[in-house]
Chain A
Amino acid sequence: MAGMKTASGDYIDSSWELRVFVGEEDPEAESVTLRVTGESHIGGVLLKIVEQINRKQDWSDHAIWWEQKRQWLLQTHWTLDKYGILADARLFFGPQHRPVILRLPNRRALRLRASFSQPLFQAVAAICRLLSIRHPEELSLLRAPEKKEKKKKEKEPEEELYDLSKVVLAGGVAPALFRGMPAHFSDSAQTEACYHMLSRPQPPPDPLLLQRLPRPSSLSDKTQLHSRCTQEPRPLCRGSPTQDPPPSTLRFQAFSLCVLLPQTDPVRLTQLYEQARWDLLLEEIDCTEEEMMVFAALQYHINKLSQSGEVGEPAGTDPGLDDLDVALSNLEVKLEGSAPTDVLDSLTTIPELKDHLRIFRPRKLTLKGYRQHWVVFKETTLSYYKSQDEAPGDPIQQLNLKGCEVVPDVNVSGQKFCIKLLVPSPEGMSEIYLRCQDEQQYARWMAGCRLASKGRTMADSSYTSEVQAILAFLSLQRTGSGGPGNHPHGPDASAEGLNPYGLVAPRFQRKFKAKQLTPRILEAHQNVAQLSLAEAQLRFIQAWQSLPDFGISYVMVRFKGSRKDEILGIANNRLIRIDLAVGDVVKTWRFSNMRQWNVNWDIRQVAIEFDEHINVAFSCVSASCRIVHEYIGGYIFLSTRERARGEELDEDLFLQLTGGHEAF
């Protein structure tokens, strides 16, 4: 066997010395030298190493890394010859799983153990399993941007680092639920906190920070982002496993998402929401002003709910059913004989509002201002009279608010509480302003108007909560308007009140004053105020997905035969050729028409053939062909998955579709 010697000490077999470095930290620290032959199996070598080290330790996770070839020697039955290892190979004996720092979509950093030896896809899948995120195929890791990292290092505050590196999951089994979270999170307070971080939306960021963060200003900037994607089936680290890799970012990369089930995957939902939010806040995806207000309102709402701890069940299931349900429970009580309220009464009485309000009706050529009237609000109808005495008679005007538009016109500091109503009528819309004296009155009337506009009366069960919500807004505005122009508060202060700047992309910060922004956000909020946390997140994600630019990854390419760079947009169902200068779509090809795609790794050219002999070829400028190839393969993989609908991933297929360049 290896290591036979003559009496003089010469080796008489074909054995040679193999030096293997041991340890995680410092490769030079320890090394063992073995005598091996070309026929030695890796397994045998491992055994010898352990024997030589002669330390009691769990070595099961250790394997040999071949530095020059950047390769793990995982096939224990292969011989050294088969691997082609000679005496000059620099080999390291180290653990396959090592802690890495991962930046999550919600921008929190997490330390966990990831496999360095498995293909990335599997490593990501394992990470997802640990984080209890389903559908790992939708995620990938992004290398941290290198240059910019340095710039920002200056005063990046030490951020909280969540640590999951101690958690090891048993393979194969789906983690069981325990206390509402996967069992492995409930081990300690620390991991529990970590789960909360994962499954609950984070508070809005500090607007200042938001302005500092880099934002893509053009399409070509966006190509940078996507060039960092690594979905390669190659191990996580590209350098030696013995150095700590730079933090990577976990990101939802595939944009044809599987069904979202808020109940089963809170982490996935939350992380998606976070990613969507940051996409919007950092202007990685563009939206219009109106859309931004809706997004802001949803963020505000989500934040409010998650802070108040109402993670649980929906505030309003189906508003239409509310009253019936209430009535039902009433009746049930009745039948049980416990509460003697009479049902019929509750079913038939509808509360009404009566009060003196000042009313203003803008008309052409009138300068009249607000006038005091006696206003009666019953069911969904608003009637006003000259005075209370005339109330039994005919009102000056009667308006059915069903379907009307209700716009708050409030200035808390100015003590102005107006409700603007745009009431549709056969002749058009009639505009009317109600001016209330104080917050209380305003809240009651406003709530009534809002319900009425949806065709519900104040008997509706949501009336009280609506009133409360409105009052809460008003108080918010009071605090929120404290320092609108300049936001000296730290992130903590802004988390309390409504700091609109934390909710919108910086360009809106420049465009609007907080004072202008707040009412608009609140106005948008009234449409979403009834949503539960999960619903709101879902709504946010849906709105994000319906943005026209959603899910397009940009790569700068040069088409064959063309002299200038162009942008290739890769969406989940198509390729888009975009003019770099103008941003116009030049041409779209759909994957469903695609026959095949080929990558010529040598000349870095991707050639795609579509139906009817349409051929497209381009070389990649901003990223390697690999990325384009992986995107296309990934999307095609996802589309096959959709059809199968299985939970199980066909890993081989995935690798087949996205890999293929290993040989080169």
Chain B
Amino acid sequence: MGESSEDIDQMFSTLLGEMDLLTQSLGVDTLPPPDPNPPRAEFNYSVGFKDLNESLNALEDQDLDALMADLVADISEAEQRTIQAQKESSQNQHHSASLQASNFSGAASLGYGTNVAATGISQYEDDLPPPPADPVLDLPLPPPPPEPLSQEEEEAQAKADKIKLALEKLKEAKVKKLVVKVHMNDNSTKSLMVDERQLARDVLDNLFEKTHCDCNVDWCLYEIYPELQIERFFEDHENVVEVLSDWTRDTENKILFLEKEEKYAVFKNPQNFYLDNRGKKESKETNEKMNAKNKESLLEESFCGTSIIVPELEGALYLKEDGKKSWKRRYFLLRASGIYYVPKGKTKTSRDLACFIQFENVNIYYGTQHKMKYKAPTDYCFVLKHPQIQKESQYIKYLCCDDARTLNQWVMGIRIAKYGKTLYDNYQRAVAKAGLASRWTNLGTVNAAAPAQPSTGPRTGTTQPNGQIPQATHSVSALLQEAQRHAETSKDKKPALGNHHDPAVPRAPHAPKSSLPPPPPVRRSSDTSGSPATPPKAKGTGSGGLPAPPDDFLPPPPPPPPLDDPELPPPPPDFMEPPPDFVPPPPPSYAGTAGSELPPPPPPPPAPAPVPDCARPPPAVAKRPPVPPKRQENPGHPGGAGGGEQDFMSDLMKALQKKRGNVS
């Protein structure tokens, strides 16, 4: 992407394009598969629009305003002025184009902060962020400052947060998403949109929501390689998209959603792994009876110390010899650093051991039916291979145990050695989830917050306070929604502008999209080819016309989303909210909802959009409400910001305008 560096115009378009992608993918996922993004759904619940609706609604607006104000405040006054000036100059173009667009862009008016949001919205709504100017000034005012919060102190902090957010948004724009077909144990399948930051835990949560299963800790995502006849469960902390990207295009591999008690067996009966006295029967009996308290202390001892304890495991296993069909029996030992074997004629003291394999680069799989396939001595096989290897290869290690119990011990032992404490953390999270399951509908959000979030570290700080999931997508959608609300309000204020939603206009922004560097986010729809939602397609619709959105712009909530999959049916109860989302394809869920409540409002003309910024996660927004008013008055960091920023801004503005000009 570096090519266009000097040309700000281009850069901007790139940015926009990315936005597009993002939105498209959002749109996509909304459409076909029942809303895959868990966070979003959760968000719904937590906010409880329906239930609390109006009052909340109002609040929401305020929040939005607050957000705007925040963002605006960050820009020095001088800057604002310039912007305004610019805007005025650009007014002409602006008018034609932006007017229609302006409906929504209340959000846009936010200036940097909202910018992204605005763009995002615009795609749906079709209005591009028109060069901003006036809105900037106006908007901040409109929102009646709801609650006077003592935010001034935190301003500096807030600013930093905002910047972070902005960057995150930027990143988010590039988020890769996959549509994944998950096979359920009743032979049905569900398609899910999984974004690149989602961990297996998030996906599971998502599935829990859809399937109404009991959410117990044994549920797992399970990958199967039919070709190699191996399978394994995803660890909850694993990044799903990452794993799936290792699959080949024509793979037969499948993802299953099922219960496997082996997944956390060690935490349920640690004594079977830690206290096993190799084959002595007497111990077995006592083991079964271990009481809860002892189990707990055993676990604490093993997993909560400065370092975890890997179960002592050793014994003879069969090893498949490279490239041959013969299996050789060797004495193996498990240590924290890897699997070792005792070379011929040596003892099993540490100094004589030879390293068989270390765990950094391999995953462990169960082998199925290897007795048939590879003439293994038994069917209790496990396999170690680099996750990227998909075909038979000498780099895959096959091992075979005498019985199921040994197999489970080895697999679990290796997982403990490989993942360490993470495994325990995963388990605790799973337990928390399971515990909450009953209250899930009410408290959905809460547990959502609990699961570790994907790598997006920094943002957590801001988001977390509300206990909401920091998921970017989610926040975006929330933002969108808010933006929309805001738009509604603003519309009231600016009746004149209102109701112009020109579908046509919106396209202007999309143009850049074509130039966008990032190709459709979907790298591969894995085995889900079936899912209609693939991003590219979405994109097509999006750019093509977004007609849909504008048209029904006020999407009647009810229109049942086009469901292609069986999935939809189940969700209904939970999904009360979501449905509206689905309806209008392009507008993300919130758009839908918002629409239903209020007529599509013409938002005030948006502010310039240069900096990525962002849609801030709803929670944060909620907190901020009071800010707005004060912000305006207080030119945050007037001094410094002026120079560089202005330039930057104005460049972007120009770019925007240019673009708009072209289009219109």
What is the interface of chain A, defined by CB distance below 8 A to chain B? Answer: 256-257, 259-260, 286-291, 294, 318, 320-321, 324-325, 327-328, 331-332, 334-340, 342, 344-345, 347-350, 403, 405, 424-429, 507, 527, 538, 541-543, 545-549, 573, 583, 587-588, 590, 592, 612, 642
Are the CB atoms of B349 and A336 closer together than 8 Å? no
Complex CA distance for A288 and B337, rounded to whole angstroms: 9
Indicate if the CB atoms of A545 and B2 lie closer than 8 Å.
no
A642 to B641: give the CA distance in the assembly, Å: 53
Q: A332, B163: Cβ atoms under 8 Å?
A: yes
Q: Residue B350 contacts which of A288, A345, A426, A538 (CB distance < 8 angstroms)?
A: A288
B355 and A257 contact, CB distance less than 8 A:
no
Question: Does B641 lie within 8 Å of A336, measured CB to CB?
Answer: yes
Partner of B11, one of A344, A545, A583: A344
B286 touches A612 (CB 8 A): yes
What number of B residues sit within 8 Å (CB to CB) of A? 71
Whether A335 contacts B301 by the Cβ 8 Å rule is no
A290 in complex: contacting residue of B8, B308, B338, CB < 8 Å: B338
B340 at the interface (CB under 8 A from A): yes
Judging by beta carbons under 8 Å apart, are A334 and B645 in contact?
Answer: yes
Do A336 and B640 have beta carbons less than 8 Å apart? yes
Chain A proximity of B314: nearest CB distance (Å):
9
A348 CA / B15 CA spacing, docked (Å): 11
Chain A residue nearest in CB terms to B334: A548
How does the 8 Å CB contact mask read for B92-131 relative to A, with 1 for contact and 0 for none? 0000000000000000000000000000000000000000
B 311-357 contacts with A by CB, 8 A: 312, 335-338, 340, 347, 349-351, 353, 355
Query: Is B573 on the interface with A (CB-CB < 8 A)?
Result: no
Q: Which residues of B contact A342 (CB under 8 A)?
A: 5, 8, 648
Asked whether, in the complex, the Cβ of B643 is within 8 Å of the Cβ of A403, the reply is no
Q: Mark B8-22, 1 if CB is under 8 A from A, else 0.
A: 100100110000000
For the complex, is B496 an interface residue (Cβ under 8 Å from A)?
no
Whether the Cβ atoms of A425 and B163 lie closer than 8 Å is: no
With A331-B167, A429-B395, A545-B305 in contact, is A344–B5 under 8 Å at CB? yes
Q: Which residue of A lies closest to B280 (CB)?
A: A587
For the complex, is B393 an interface residue (Cβ under 8 Å from A)? Answer: yes
Q: Hey, which chain A residues are within 8 Å of B441, CB to CB?
A: none
Write out the residue numbers on chain A whose beta carbons fall within 8 Å of the beta carbon of B163. 328, 331-332, 335
Q: Contacts of A541 on B, CB cut-off 8 Å?
A: 306-307
Pairwise interchain contact B275-A590, C-beta atoms closer than 8 A: yes
Complex formed: what's the CA distance from A428 to B395 in Å?
6
A287, A339, A549, most chain B CB atoms within 10 A: A287
Which residues of chain B from 246 to 289 have a CB within 8 Å of any chain A CB? Answer: 246, 248, 275, 277, 286
What are 14 of the A-B contact pairs (CB < 8 Å)?
A256-B305, A260-B306, A288-B335, A318-B457, A324-B164, A334-B645, A339-B644, A342-B648, A345-B2, A403-B388, A427-B389, A542-B306, A545-B307, A546-B336
Min C-beta distance of A645 to chain B, whole Å: 11
- Contacts A288-B353, A321-B457 given; does A403 touch B393 at CB 8 Å: no
Given contacts A345-B5, A349-B5, contact A583 B393 (CB under 8 A): no
**B391, A347: Cβ atoms under 8 Å?**
no
Q: Mark B619-642, 1 if CB is under 8 A from A, else 0.
A: 000000000000000000100111
B386 CB within 8 Å of chain A = yes
Task: Give the shortest distance, in Å, between A640 (CB) and chain B (any CB).
Answer: 11
B355 and A290 contact, CB distance less than 8 A: yes
- A546–B396 Cα distance when bound, in Å, is 27
User: In this assembly, does B372 line the interface, its C-beta being within 8 Å of a C-beta of chain A?
Assistant: no
Out of B159, B389, B611, name the residue touching A424 (CB < 8 Å): B389
Residue B294 lies at the interface, judged by CB distance under 8 Å to chain A: yes
Q: What 1/0 mask marks residues of chain B from 379 to 411 whose CB sits below 8 Å from any chain A CB?
A: 000000011111111111000000000000000
Whether B11 lies near A337 (C-beta < 8 A) is no
Q: Which residues of the other chain, B, contact A289 by a CB distance below 8 angstroms? A: 355
Residues of chain B within 8 A of A259, CB atoms compared: 306
Is A426 within 8 A of B395, CB to CB?
Answer: no
Q: Would A426 and B390 count as touching, CB distance under 8 A?
A: yes
Contact A546 B309 (CB under 8 A): yes
| Contact A331 B166, beta carbon cutoff 8 Å | yes
Q: Is the CB of A328 within 8 A of B164?
A: yes
Other contacts beyond A331-B611, A348-B1, A546-B309: 6, CB < 8 A? A324-B458, A348-B14, A426-B390, A546-B335, A547-B336, A587-B277
Are A405 and B5 touching (Cβ within 8 A)? Answer: no
In the bound complex, residues from chain A placing their C-beta under 8 Å from that of B5 are 342, 344-345, 348-349
A347 touches B170 (CB 8 A): yes
- CB distance B338 to A405 under 8 Å? no
- Give A341's nearest chain B residue, CB to CB: B644
* Chain B residues numbered 1-55 whose CB sits less than 8 Å from any CB in chain A: 1-2, 5, 8, 11, 14-15
In the bound assembly, the distance between CA atoms of A328 and B645 in angstroms comes to 15
Contact of A428 among B2, B297, B305, B391 (CB under 8 A): B391
Contacts A288-B353, A335-B74, A424-B386 given; does A405 touch B361 at CB 8 Å: yes
Contact indicator A338/B644 (Cβ below 8 Å): yes
B290, chain A: closest CB distance, angstroms:
10
Whether the Cβ atoms of A583 and B388 lie closer than 8 Å is no
- Bound complex: CA of A507 vs CA of B389, how far in Å? 37
Residues of A within 8 A of B310 (CB): 546
- How far does the alpha carbon of A327 sit from the alpha carbon of B349 in the complex, in Å? 50
A349→B171 CA distance, assembly (Å): 14
Asked if B457 contacts A337 (CB within 8 A), the reply is: no
Kindly provide the distance from the CB of A401 to the nearest chain B CB, expressed in whole angstroms.
11
Q: Please state if B361 and A403 are interface contacts (CB–CB under 8 Å).
A: yes
Does chain A have a CB within 8 A of B160?
yes
Distance to closest chain A CB from B169 (angstroms): 12
Across the interface, do A337 and B641 meet the contact criterion of CB distance under 8 Å?
A: yes
At the interface, yes or no: B455 with Cβ under 8 Å from chain A? yes
Contact of A583 among B337, B347, B392 (CB under 8 A): B347
Flag if B389 contacts A425 (CB, 8 Å): yes
Which residues of the other chain, A, contact B298 by a CB distance below 8 angstroms?
592
CB distance from B577 to the nearest CB of A (A): 32
When chains A and B are docked, how far (Å) is the Cα of A403 from the Cα of B640?
Answer: 44
Q: Cα distance A592–B644 when bound, in Å? A: 67
Residues of B within 8 A of A332 (CB): 160, 163
Binary contact track B131-163/A, C-beta < 8 Å → 1, others 0:
000000000000000000000000000011001
* Shortest distance between the CB of A176 and any CB in chain B (Å): 27
Q: Are B167 and A327 in touch, CB under 8 angstroms?
A: yes
Contacts of B8 in A (CB 8 A): 342
Query: Do B312 and A548 touch across chains, with their CB atoms under 8 A apart?
Result: yes
User: Which of B170, B300, B637, B647 has most A Cβ within 10 Å?
Assistant: B170
CB nearest neighbor in A for B170: A347
- At the interface, yes or no: B216 with Cβ under 8 Å from chain A? no
Residues from chain A with Cβ under 8 Å of B360 in the complex:
527
Q: Is the CB of A337 within 8 A of B642?
A: yes
A327 to B165, CA, bound (A): 12
**B229 contacts the other chain (CB 8 A):** no
Inter-subunit contact B2/A290 (CB<8 Å) = no
Q: Which listed residue, B301, B340, B388, touches A573 by the CB 8 Å rule?
A: B301
A546/B308 in contact, CB under 8 A: yes
- Among all A-B residue pairs, the 9 with the closest Cβ atoms: A428-B393, A349-B2, A286-B350, A546-B336, A426-B390, A424-B388, A337-B644, A542-B307, A348-B1
Q: How far is the CB of B195 from chain A (nearest CB, A)?
A: 17
The CA-CA distance from A144 to B391 in the complex, in Å, is: 60
- 1/0 contact trace for B446-476 toward A, CB 8 Å? 0000000001011000000000000000000
The answer to whether A548 and B395 have CB atoms under 8 Å apart is no
Would B1 and A349 count as touching, CB distance under 8 A?
A: yes
- Point out the residues of chain A lying under 8 angstroms from B82, CB to CB: none
Contacts of B457 in A (CB 8 A): 318, 320-321, 324
Taken together as a complex, chains A and B put the C-alpha atoms of A347 and B644 apart, in Å, by: 18
Q: Which residues of A contact B391 (CB under 8 A)?
A: 426-428
Q: How far is the CB of B323 from chain A (nearest CB, A)?
A: 11
Q: Return B663 CB to nearest CB of chain A, in Å.
A: 22
A289 to B164 alpha-carbon distance, docked (Å): 45
Q: Once the chains bind, are B644 and A340 in contact (CB under 8 Å)?
A: yes
The reply on B358 being an interface residue by CB < 8 A is yes
Given A288-B351, A340-B644, A345-B2; A257-B386 close (CB under 8 Å): no
